[in-house]
Chains A and B, each alone.
Chain A
């Protein structure tokens, strides 16, 4: 998206309230720049009005500074407690992530082994029914099962990671 090449010059001239002859002549010819100048001027007038309206509503600077002083004095003990809780929660989340990943891997591995075992006991050919890979049996099923297990572990770990991030961003973003 491109505007008139004079836009920067017009913008600066209106901002500084100094319209030289060239800019004045251009404004007569260019509707876009006329609209730009008018928009900036309208905003500035509204801004001046809003600032005048704000003056009556502003609290005294001393009140805010006193509030800051009060908060600072009562902060250390509260901050230490909050930091300890936060650290403990982070540790819990990390342990939960690792435990979930291990549990998922073990469960899926046991299930795959169990199915194959059941098939061999019952005389059913589960390997052909559930095979994923190259159709030739052998390592195809194992590769497929391992792939599903790995995907499940990654998914669970990712979900846990999201939960962990949510925990970290529990406070609002305004503190920067």
Chain B
């Protein structure tokens, strides 16, 4: 629970916070949870819980970390309830074309082939849920180890080692699929 608390958010404050966090949170939920429609549901619930939470911090980074923590817990609760359904949905989510044309154009612009990017996504789906959460929060959202520890529910000192293991597993899986550093450079 954050240490310092503030008065409830006004709609304007919420809109500003939402504009900054909604897309990264949805992307995180879609990749960590394996399905964009799950992300749609969890995202709205996460913001409602966030608004209802009495102990929000005034610090922007702490607020963001708190929101991601709520969302991660909601995602895990949902997966516990619908484990079988979520597995099937994750398999469906790796089908080519699910993400729409925009992301693929980004990959091409970045000099990474569509095939390599799809392999990256497939490899992410093969990793454990916690590994996906760790990698995404560290390298996509850009959170520090203390924030990640609070969100994922591990000791702060363990994050570095867990990240190292997750990176190595991901790199090994990419290599096994024939995607080397040169394909992603």
Contact = CB atoms under 8 A, between A and B. Distances in A.
Interface of A: 1, 3, 7, 15, 34-59, 61-62, 64-65, 67-68, 71-72, 172-176
Given A45-B106, A46-B31, A58 B99 contact: no
Given A50-B103, A51-B27, A176 B1 contact: yes
Contacts, number: 167
Contact of A64 (B44, B167, B184): B44
Contact of B14 (A39, A65, A172): A65
A15 B163 CA distance: 15
Interface of B: 1, 11, 14-15, 18-19, 22-24, 26-27, 30-31, 36, 39-40, 43-49, 51-53, 69-70, 73-74, 76-77, 99-100, 102-104, 106-107, 110, 112, 116-117, 120-121, 124, 135-136, 139-142, 161, 164-165, 167-168, 170-171, 174-175, 180-181, 183-185
B106 A48 contact: yes
Given A64-B47, A173-B73, A53 B14 contact: no
B110 A45 contact: yes
- A contact patch SS: helix
Contact of A38 (B24, B30, B135, B171): B171
